[in-house]
Amino acid sequence: MLKAGIVGLPNVGKSTLFNALTRSRKAEAANYPFCTIDPNVGVVIVPDERAYVLKSIAKTNVVVPAAIEFVDIAGLVAGASKGEGLGNQFLANIREVDAIVQVVRCFEDGDIIHTMGSVDPVRDIEVITTELVLADLDAVAKRMTKTQKSAKAGDKEAIIELALLQKLEPHLNSGKTANTLTATPEEVALMKLFQLLTAKPVLFACNVAESDLATAEQNPFVQKVAEYVRTHHDAAYVPISARIEAELIDLTPEDAKAFLKDLGVDDSGVSSLIKGTYALLGLQTYFTAGEKEVRAWTIKKGWKAPQAAGVIHTDFEAGFIKAEIVSYEDLTKLGSVAAARDAGKYRLEGKEYIFKDGDVALFRFNN
């Protein structure tokens, strides 16, 4: 299961947000730095109403939704790349995740300490980015030292790797992140082997006050983050009120909807954040639907039919013959597999078929 790491400076609402995402109180949330030391881990369901629509078509009572893992990582401070605060632990933990959700504080509150003395989300982003860039520069320098010997000896792979490292070093030195480097598809694939922190996709969670949630896009702090994201990062942002989301944990779905309606919003910010993280990880969903269950399966965008089959069982990929496919839109419009088949919307696809989000599939394979 792919992991997203929740990061940020101390006291920006990371642990509160983690508790809201996981609908738990696993993470201690308190008004002092380094409240989180050991990372908390939680599995989070990806909101997707399509599975419940398919449930009635398949005439089953069981729905198994898609899920991703969130990790609440200790707060970072300036100097983390040199071991300040919990820097070494922070960097080790973030290296293990596939994407970064960076929580930035976008509200004023005199009762909640800000470790840098004032609220400035762009400065906070730059503090964390700088520490990650410095850690990556160190990693690149060490890798260059190791690679140079092999490159000098004529090793073709080492020569290609060294050229990329030499391209990366000045880019990072200018304060830019690895994921903004202009690179060929081959270089992007090679860069994954370097496990660079700034090569990971980033989503900024703009933590706003309860009173600002309905008008978050007008919040001047959120507007600053939006502008920064557009000009500095290949990233996205989602406004959210971690405090409100934490209050929803103990409410029934009906009471939660009523609570949000009173605040002037229709949907949970957590829902948008989870969906945004899912997209950030380059993921999409296909479904299997039968009398036993409707299940959402998570795959990478661009995967072909045998790879998609393999997430169910490796035997499905190894013995793949064909995939029976109908799109979610066609199936729900027509109301049944039989009607979809009669309308010519149910089809057989081979090994080169690239799965689309929302495909409903049945696999044929050799045992």
pLDDT tens digit sequence for 171-204: 999 989 998 899 999 999 999 999 899 998 889 9
pLDDT tens digit sequence for 105-116: 998 876 666 666
Full DSSP string of 45-93: E---THHHHHHHHHT-S-EE--EEEEEEPPPP-TTGGGT-TTHHHHHHH
Count CB neighbours of 280 within 10 A: 19
Handedness of CA 74, 78, 84, 90 (dihedral sign): positive
Q: Residues near 233 by Cβ (< 8 Å), separated by ≥ 6?
A: 177, 179, 180, 202
Q: Contact 18/40 with Cβ under 8 angstroms? A: yes
Count CB neighbours of 91 within 10 A: 22
Comma-separated ranges of CATH 3.10.20.30 domains in the chain:
302-365
- Domain spanning 3-280 has what CATH number? 3.40.50.300
Please state which CATH class domain 302-365 belongs to: alpha beta
The residue to which tokens 């609908």 are assigned: 23
Whether the pLDDT of residue 322 is over 90: the answer is yes
> Which amino acid does the sequence have at 191?
M
Collapsing DSSP to helix, strand or coil, 26 comes out as: coil
Question: Could you tell me which of 297, 324, 291, 323 has the C-alpha nearest to residue 312?
Answer: 297
Task: With cut-offs at 50, 70 and 90, classify the pLDDT of residue 145.
Answer: very high
Task: With cut-offs at 50, 70 and 90, classify the pLDDT of residue 43.
Answer: confident
Q: Contact 72/15 with Cβ under 8 angstroms? A: yes
> Which amino acid does the sequence have at 139?
A
Comma-separated ranges of CATH 3.40.50.300 domains in the chain:
3-280
